[in-house]
Every structure is written in structure tokens, then in C-alpha cells.
Amino acid sequence: MKNTGHTLIELLVTTTILGITLAYAIPSGLSSLQTNILTSEITLLVNHLHSAKMEAMRRITPVIFCPSANATTCDNTIEWQHGWMLFSDDNANGLRDANEPIIRAGKSPRHITIKTSRLRKKLTFRPSGLTLGSNATFTFCTNNRSIAPTFVILSNHGRIKISDRHPSIRHYRC
């Protein structure tokens, strides 16, 4: 009868190779997962920006897009990861009144940070589709900073560009 078992050395070599392979594969897989989550959140915010522009043009009234943790009032912050909302500013006072409808709201996962540049705490889309004020840059980062930041740049004309470079800073870190 022939013995078909494995020796201790064969088992150790196989285990070592498996360990080395997993040491490289797991961080790569986690990075890929974080990249997919970040991409998904960028897409969600960009869709909300497009909706704000289209709703302002459709309703022929200003639509405000602002950070909001509770999806009923705008937060006075440049951090958007706690949530955001867009609403029809029917009386054009820049604030959400009780009778003004909330059009959409969204929220990011805990491990993503989203901030705007130039202290942009809200964006107002006019019925023409233009935004008031200067360009806005949304910076998307993972909280553990394992992948490079991504930037969503909104022009005054309402055009959106996604970039891996900050428009005014050569090297940007979250």
C-alpha cells in the first residue's frame, strides 16, 4: 500500500505561499472596495447636483442644495458627509420654509469625508441652470486616507467635472 500523505515541509511551504498571497491580496481587495464605495458616493452626489439644476429649470424657481444631517434644514457647515438635501426655494429667501418641498436627500457612509472648497455651505441653482457665487469643489476622501482624494468640480454654469486633481492646489491631501 502506497502512502499518499503530505510531509510537514510540504505543508509548511504551502501554508507560507498561501500566507504571502493573502498578504498581498487582502489589502488590494480592501482598496478596491473603498474605491468602489467612493465612486458610488461621487455618483450619488453628482446625480443630486444634476437634479438640482434640472429641478430649478423645470420649476422656474431657485433650488438650493445644502448639507443637512436631518434632511429638513440646512446645516451651517462645509462638511457634506452627514447628509444633504435639495429643496425648492419658492420665495427665494435662501432658507427652507415649512411650506417649501424637499426634492431629494442623501447621506454618505461613515467612512467617507466630503467637504466643499471656499466655505461653500450651500449652492443655489437658478431657473437658468446657473449657480450663484464662485465655482464649488467637493473633495471626497476615505477617512483612513488609503486612496487618493477625488474632486467634483461644479462651475457657475452648472457643469460638473470629476478629477483626481484639485483645480487650484498642486498636491492635495485629505
pLDDT at position 137 is 87
**CATH no. of 8-163:** 3.55.40.10
List C-alpha distances in Å: 165 to 80, 140, 152: 20, 11, 10
* Annotated domain spans of the chain: 8-163
pLDDT band at 21 (very low <50, low <70, confident <90, very high): low
The predicted-structure confidence for 93-135, as pLDDT tens digits, reads as follows 989 999 999 999 988 766 788 888 767 789 999 999 888 777 8
Q: 131 near 123, Cβ under 8 Å?
A: yes
Provide DSSP, the chain.
-------HHHHHHHHHHHHHHHHHHHHHHHHHHHHHHHHHHHHHHHHHHHHHHHHHHHHTS-EEEEE-SSSSS--SSSB-TT-EEEEE-TT-SSS--TTSPEEEEE---TTEEEEESTT---EEE-TTS-BSSS-EEEEEEETT--S--EEEEE-TTS-EEEESS-SS-SS---
pLDDT of residue 37 exceeding 90, the answer is no
- Give pLDDT tens digits for 150-164: 889 888 888 888 888
Give the model's confidence band at 173: pLDDT under 50 very low, under 70 low, under 90 confident, else very high. low
Non-local CB neighbours of 91 within 8 Å, separated by 6+ positions? 97, 100
Average pLDDT over the chain reads: 81
pLDDT in tens, 63-80: 999 999 998 999 988 888
Q: How far is CA 101 from CA 93, 118, 139, 172, in A?
A: 14, 28, 28, 37
Picking from 113, 115, 98, the residue whose alpha carbon sits closest to that of residue 146 is 113
